[in-house]
Chain A
Amino acid sequence: MRFAISLLTLLAIASVIGTVLKQNEPYPNYVVEFGQFWFTGFEWLGLFDVYHSSWFLLILAFLVLSTSLCIWRNAPGFIKDMKGYREKASESSLAAMSHSVALPAGVSAAQASAYLRGQGFLVREASREDGVLVAAKKGAANKLGYFLAHIALVVICLGGLLDGNVPLKVAELFGKVVPETRDIPQSQIPPQSRLSTSNLSFRGNVTIPENSTADVVFLNAGNGYFVQDLPFLVTLKKFHVDYYSTGMPKLFASDLVVTDKQTGKETVATVKVNHPLIIDGVAIYQASFGDGGSPLRFKAWNLGVPNAPAQTLAAKSLGNQPVEINSQRYQLEAGELRTFNIENVGDNNAAMGVNKTFQEVMQSAGQVKHDKQLRNLGPSITYKLRDAQGQAREYHLYMSPISQDGRPYMMAGMRSEVAQPFAYLRLPLDDNNSLDDFMRLRAALMDAKVQSEVARRVAAQALAGQAIGREMREPFEQSVRWVLDRFGQGGFAALESFLDERVPKDKRKDVAQTYIKIVQGAVVEVDAVARERAGLPRRPVNEANYRFLIDSLVGVSALFDYGAPVFMQLDSFDEVKATGLQITRSPGKTIVYLGSVLLVLGIICMFYIRELRVWVLVKSDQVRVAMASNRKTSDLDRDFERHSNALQQLARGE
């Protein structure tokens, strides 16, 4: 018993460790977290997979053994006790019981037996030299409960050990199988890391894109994995995902075709969360989902050749491909395609209960539904562009225009470190929701000929409007050209760096204002020249168009920091989803369930069936009534009072 309690305590402590220390993470994460020294120690102790470590399994095995022994030791006594009536109890021991009373003579043994039988007791009468003893008992199932519950524990542990895949552990220990640690295609994995379909118990995962087939799953094994062959082929026909209007997922479902490798028999079924498919004792569960590698088409604007029209670039999400831009080699590493991006655009403060009046808070607490301002930002993609030196920047693109203050923009995020948040670039779109106008304007802003032409026109206009005198025309034209040139080489940042280098501090603010005014004034003409050259009419002067031009200036300026030789725009895609399935064979499950049922039945018997014993020793001069139970609660006091009163009344003949 003491040993059992110690084992249970040890088990509890080990379990706590397993919940505090994240289990089954990739090993490098642990090294980073704990350092090499502790990592080695922890690994030796098996702390990264506590529940499958040999010492943990050993404790379980000991528990099974000790509980079995306990049952074995207690069984004879308990069974004897269940069967017996204890009719040998001496008068003095009856008198010594805590619930015992001597009544005046009057009740006969037959009366007492009849009464007790009527109360649901099993009764046995024994004539002894000191009188007739009526020995009665009830609730023997209480002891049965002990057997059920404790046998159940053994059964559950055995079922668990069976599913814990002890044979595989042993094979691994003796080096018969070796986990694979490299990231290589499935077909190249050597036989010592493959497990055959005869493996009794396994639990593994596999990702299958739509219209693809898998016939293996991957089992985690410490730092590596095993490849488990399946007795069938699993083909994903289609993956369904539905969302609620709040953007929360509502349904994940995979339409599968399962083909038996031997018989060729096909089973068509849909697997959903909470609705697995079970075939030949192997269960297929919906575990996760994602992008399965979707063909993508980008529009790529070569930022180094501003006049060049956009080119189409085909790629595949989750795929890598080389691209050559301006005779430089790059690697395009596409990330996951997300077709759905729900965002709460409501007032965040209001939603978090900050700065709300008492009344608003009360109002909100009274309602179970709130109208969130949600909107779907549409599909998005991330990709990395890695240069020949291996340096990469990551980009995040939304495919659809995103509306801000009623105007459409193209949003593109950029970061150079994974840990950083994306910094977003915002390019204004034209009436066709395209970047054409912006890119044309950008090309013009960077074009020296356009700059001269615009400077000439702006100066002429200023003269005509009498904003400057005749003698100022030449210097003014020059400074416009200079400002435009500088802007065309590096945006606002280039002008700013000039200021910082050449202009005294106290004048910078004024000069900056002048520069900005010049650029903002000139951009109208730059746009006009660009459109003339493209054979387009001049843009009418109005608030919206002016806004477009100013946004364009900001966009052109920001593109200098974009860090990519191309601006890519996600043009279209053919979505291919993938399902993540968990496939298991767990023969221990039925055993564990059986054990669980026994356990519950056993506990009910132990706690809710009270073992009661009554002795009525009928002698010529008095009647001794005694009672005992294996649970000393006030229920026993009550029962004793009830039964002894009843017997007393019988004695009085009432």
Chain B
Amino acid sequence: MELVQPLHAPGFSLRQLNGRDWLYALVVLAAAGVAYSRYGHAMDGYEQGILAGSALGLIALGWFWKSWQWYFPLSGALALGGLALYGDDLARGQTSFGLKFLLSSQSAIMWMCFLYFLATAVYWLGLLRRSDFLNRVGSGLTWAATVLGLTGLFVRWGESYLIGADVGHIPVSNLYEVFVLFCLITALMYLYYEARYQARQMGAFVLVVISAAVGFILWYTFDRQAHEIQPLIPALQSWWMKIHVPANFVGYGAFALSAMLGVAELLAMRGILTNKLPKPEVIDEVMYKAIAVGFLFFTIATVLGAMWAADAWGGYWSWDPKETWALIVWLNYAAWLHVRLVKGWRGAVLAWWAVIGLFVTSFAFIGVNMFLTGLHSYGTL
């Protein structure tokens, strides 16, 4: 007996997997295998574990979210193309046309910046004119920017090894790199919800916070030359960094996303753009889901951070300002979730709270680096 499935259920069960899903899994496994055979000797046991875990995680993510199945391999292929153009000579970045204008990490990231700006404008036009076509274009531009951003980070990873074997490291080690990561993660989470809830009008709001981050990246590049690859100080030479930082940025990205949805919901509830935006309940639900994901990853990141701190500084919790602010952010969202789930609150108060949450999160993210000193003293502005 076949049962009709009126709506596509999210998630996956092994039975529903098709040939494409398996092919994707094979590609990821093969890539991980190649990475292992080429670089395995330079990795310690933990790093090999992270490689294996990432491969499995990427397969699961691809099965769960089908768009990931083309997104991730495409960025990877572009990055490999870029690195092939480099060969083993970093100076090619200025002579090879393909690198100079598209695939060197800086070019790819500049394209990312440009495309996010463009996407923001197009989404707003789409929202105001209620044009589904324009919203789709915005969505496409966001995808393109996100592909190039990930490509840029991958290429940057390779470039760091071209500068010197002892300089090479994963590009999540300073404010510049994590801002790019922040843009990517926020955009990806948004793209997932946009497709899942058929609510492209939210893009106009979410892309604003991404554009703000892009603005910061540009200022940081042109004014401070922060894009230069620097070697790692001893405290950062740890495999913990590879998992702690990305986990943290899933949290930050999700919280930023929820804050922008909070703004959209508040406007919709007050009759501004109401007929152009999705229903407040839909926005509200996406906001809740984003905070739930963010809270989980932020918890994991904080725990990982504590474990790393135990290795690097000699104590899992030193009340360092960054740690303390992470705790404050965490308490804030825990309280948010409590009043929603236990007390059943909905609507304007929670939306406002999510918006304020962004300020708390931003302070933990950059404010601490700017205004307070502590053990996390790298990444100062």
Contact with B along A173-211 (1 / 0, CB 8 A): 000000000000000000000000000000100000000
Q: Flag if B233 contacts A248 (CB, 8 Å).
A: yes
User: A607–B225 contact, CB under 8 A?
Assistant: no
Cross-chain contact of A160 among B105, B221, B317, B342 (Cβ < 8 A): B317
- Please judge, given known A-B contacts A15-B327, A368-B106, whether A599 and B230 are in contact too, CB under 8 Å: no
List A contacts of B372 (CB < 8 A): 19-20
Asked whether B314 lies within 8 Å of A23 as measured between CB atoms, the reply is: no
Q: Contacts A19-B372, A603-B295: A5 and B231 contacting too (C-beta < 8 A)?
A: no
Beyond A5-B335, A15-B327, A276-B314, whether A368 also contacts B222 by CB under 8 A is: no
A557 neighbours in B (Cβ, 8 Å):
none
- For A432, list chain B residues within 8 Å (CB): none
- With A and B bound together, what is the CA distance between A20 and B319 in angstroms? 12
Q: Does B331 contact A (CB under 8 A)?
A: yes
Residue from B6, B156, B313, B319 having most chain A Cβ neighbours under 10 A: B319
Q: How many residues of B contact A (CB 8 A)?
A: 80
Determine whether A367 belongs to the interface, using a CB cutoff of 8 Å to chain B.
yes
B234 engages A586 (CB within 8 Å): no
Given A368-B106, A368-B163, A603-B295: A12 in contact with B156 (beta carbons within 8 A): no
- Contacts A274-B311, A600-B300 given: A633-B328 contact, CB under 8 Å? no
Q: Which of A321-329, A377-385, A621-629, A642-650 contacts B (4 or more CB under 8 A)?
A: A642-650
Asked whether any CB of chain A lies closer than 8 Å to the CB of B131, the reply is: no
Residue in B230, B300, B306 whose beta carbon sits within 8 Å of that of A248 in the complex = B230
Write out, one digit per residue, whether chain A residues 239-273 have a CB within 8 A of any chain B CB (1) or not (0).
00000111011111000000000000000000011
Contacts of B240 in A (CB 8 A): 274
CB distance from B157 to the nearest CB of A (A): 11
Q: Is the CB of B310 within 8 A of A589?
A: yes
Q: Is B9 an interface residue (CB 8 A)?
A: yes
Q: Please measure, in the bound complex, the distance between the C-alpha atom of A32 and the C-alpha atom of B315, giving whole angstroms.
A: 31
Which of B197, B221, B292, B306 contacts A596 (CB under 8 A)? B306
A285, B338: Cβ atoms closer than 8 Å = no
Q: Does A231 contact B (CB under 8 A)?
A: no
In the assembled complex, the Cα of A314 lies from the Cα of B282 at a distance in Å of 79
Contact B100 A589 (CB under 8 A): no
On whether the beta carbons of B90 and A8 are closer than 8 Å, the reply is no
How far is B88's CA from A406's CA once the two chains are assembled, in angstroms? 36
In the bound complex, do residue B234 and residue A274 qualify as a contact, i.e. CB atoms below 8 Å apart? yes
Interface of chain B residues 67 through 121 with chain A (CB within 8 A): 90, 93-94, 100, 104-107, 110
Chain B neighbourhood of A19, CB < 8 A: 321, 324-325, 368, 372, 374
Pick the interface stretch among A358-366, A530-538, A541-549: A358-366
Interface: A108 (CB within 8 A): no
Q: Does B159 reach chain A (CB closer than 8 Å)?
A: yes
Q: Complex Cα distance A364/B197, Å? A: 42
B241's nearest neighbour on chain A, judged by CB, is A274
User: Chain A 594-605, CB within 8 Å of chain B: the 1/0 string?
Assistant: 001001100110
Residue B182 at the chain A interface, CB threshold 8 Å: no
A308 to B156, CA, bound (A): 62
Please tell me which one of the listed residues B163, B311, B335, B368 contacts residue A369 in the complex, with CB atoms under 8 A apart.
Answer: B163
Contacting pair A603 B228 (CB below 8 A): no
Tell me, yes or no, whether B285 is within 8 Å of chain A by CB.
yes
Contact residue among A18, A251, A367 (Cβ-Cβ distance under 8 Å from B319): A18
Q: Is the CB of A368 within 8 A of B228?
A: yes
Determine chain B's interface SS by DSSP, over half rule. helix
Q: Give bound CA distance, A285 to B1, whole Å.
A: 65
A414 within 8 A of B: no
- Do A273 and B312 touch across chains, with their CB atoms under 8 A apart? yes
Check B234 against A638 for contact (C-beta < 8 Å): no
B273 within 8 A of A: no
Q: What are the residues of chain B within 8 A of A649 when measuring CB–CB?
A: 3-4
* A252→B234 contact, CB < 8 A: yes
In the complex, A419 Cα to B254 Cα: how many Å? 46
Contact B7 A353 (CB under 8 A): no
Set of chain A residues within 8 Å of B312, measured between Cβ atoms: 273-274, 285
- Among candidates B3, B6, B105, B314, residue contacting A368 with C-beta atoms closer than 8 Å: B105
**A69 in the interface (beta carbon within 8 A):** no
Contacts of A15 in B (CB 8 A): 319, 324-325, 327-328
Interface string of B149-171 (1 = CB under 8 A from A): 00000001001100110110000
Q: Does B128 contact A (CB under 8 A)?
A: no
Q: How close is A288's CB to chain B, nearest CB, in angstroms?
A: 11
With both beta carbons as reference points, the residue of chain B lying nearest to A252 in the complex is identified as: B234
Tell me if B316 and A589 are in contact (CB < 8 A).
yes
Q: Tell me the bound Cα distance from A298 to B9 in angstroms.
A: 81
Whether the Cβ atoms of B7 and A369 lie closer than 8 Å is no
Q: Decide if B224 touches A641 in the complex (CB within 8 Å).
A: no
Is A250 within 8 A of B234, CB to CB? yes
Which of A1-31 touch B at CB < 8 Å? 1, 5, 8-9, 11-12, 15-16, 18-20, 22-23
The 3 closest A-B pairs by CB, nearest first: A285-B314, A273-B234, A582-B314
Q: Using CB atoms and an 8 Å cutoff, list the residues of chain A in contact with chain B.
A: 1, 5, 8-9, 11-12, 15-16, 18-20, 22-23, 50-51, 160, 203, 244-246, 248-252, 272-276, 283, 285-287, 351-353, 361, 364-370, 582, 584, 586, 589, 592-593, 596, 599-600, 603-604, 607-608, 631, 633-635, 638, 641-642, 645-646, 649, 654
27 A-B Cβ contacts within 8 A?
A12-B327, A12-B328, A16-B324, A22-B373, A203-B315, A245-B164, A250-B234, A273-B234, A274-B240, A283-B314, A285-B313, A351-B225, A353-B222, A361-B222, A367-B94, A367-B106, A369-B159, A586-B316, A589-B310, A593-B316, A600-B296, A604-B296, A633-B289, A642-B6, A642-B7, A642-B9, A646-B4
